[in-house]
Amino acid sequence: MRAHHWIATGPNGIADFQFVESEVAEPGPGEVTITVQASGVNPADLKHPGRATVFPVSIGYEVAGTITALGPETEIASGGGAIGDAVLAFRVTGGWASILTVPADTVFARPQNLGAAQAANLLLVATTAADLLRVAKVESGETVVVFGASGSVGVSLLQIARSRGIRVVGVCSANRVDEVARFGGVAIERGQAPSELAERIALAAADPIAAVFDASGRDDDIAAALAVAGNHDRMVTIVGTDVAKDAGFQFIGGVAPENAAYRASVRAELIDMAARGDLVVPVSETFVLRQALDALDLVSSGRAGGKVALVPDSNDV
């Protein structure tokens, strides 16, 4: 069986991305072949090949689709699994594909209330958001501040925090205030100067600020964060700019063993939350798989206004 997929042949960004066709591996023991209905798009799809040393890199960390084949004596992570079942998979390699074979322990039954585009975009951001709360040891009743709260990780964090009784002050652009409020955050739009922003955050928080999270990577956000952070041991960034690191933010990623293990362990809980309707995935746009570079352009701009999905069409299989 042949399928199309995206690879990066070098570290030079979109210029090195190629849409290629190759043979799909038959699933061995502990593997599952998925016919993809949607692939998630994340900023990491562009950033990570830029840091790679071995090429080609297969692009895409998450998909939703149906099971096409299972290896011998193989069950998916949520148990069972049969040809035709609707599933989602994370964290996979090469998810920007029409068909792919993945480890069965990345594959979960897809809740009926989740469309393919939502399911394909649920877990990378939600596991990251849950990891931020874990690393900063945030407990029910505490108040935290999230910079970049209207983004995809931010919106997941707002919902997970709400379900755990954690209060979130969310900093965002003026046109994204409604989105932060929709998911239970106390929305604060950026102002002119970091000091003025810090004052408004402190006023809105009212309670002591237990932790601050950087999901925007903006220097002005880091300056405001430093001004409001009560405990500098609980400042965490997922963007990891030099400015944030120099300011004392802890940088977390999905590859370090502790973070990877936690993010894998929390997937089932987050899928259950989504099945109950307590964790929704706002999808702003879909592109056909062949047009993935347009999707990546949009996502990398930080202006997608929601998650973006890739959908294979009949020419891609």
Report the site for ligand NAP in 284-303 (rule: CB under 6 A). 302
Residue span 249-268 as binding mask against ligand NAP, x where in contact by CB under 6 A, dash where not: ---xxx--------------
128 phi and psi angles, rounded to 5 deg? -65, -45
Beta-strand relationship, 99-103 and 86-89: unpaired
Q: Which of 239, 289, 295, 311 binds ligand NAP (CB under 6 A)?
A: 239
CB 87 within 8 A of CB 109: yes
Tell me 112's DSSP state.
T
Q: For residue 294, what are its two tokens?
A: 């347009």
Q: Does 173 bind ligand NAP (CB under 6 A)?
A: yes
Q: Which of 150, 270, 274, 312 binds ligand NAP (CB under 6 A)?
A: 150
Report the site for ligand NAP in 11-30 (rule: CB under 6 A). none
Q: Does 121 bind ligand NAP (CB under 6 A)?
A: no
Q: Which of 122, 123, 238, 273 binds ligand NAP (CB under 6 A)?
A: 238
Residues 6+ apart with CB under 8 A from 201: 145, 169, 171, 188, 209, 224, 228
Counting other chains too, the contacts that 235-242 makes at CB distance below 8 Å and 24 or more residues apart are: 235/211, 236/132, 236/135, 236/136, 236/211, 236/212, 237/213, 238/128, 238/132, 238/153, 238/213, 238/214, 239/148, 239/214, 239/215, 241/217
Give min distance, CB of 46 to ligand NAP, in A: 9
Q: Does 185 bind ligand NAP (CB under 6 A)?
A: no
Q: Which of 101, 152, 159, 241 binds ligand NAP (CB under 6 A)?
A: 152
Choose between 125 and 205: whose C-beta lies nearer to ligand NAP.
Answer: 125
Choose between 44 and 288: whose C-beta lies nearer to ligand NAP.
Answer: 44
Choose between 3 and 168: whose C-beta lies nearer to ligand NAP.
Answer: 168
Q: Does 222 bind ligand NAP (CB under 6 A)?
A: no
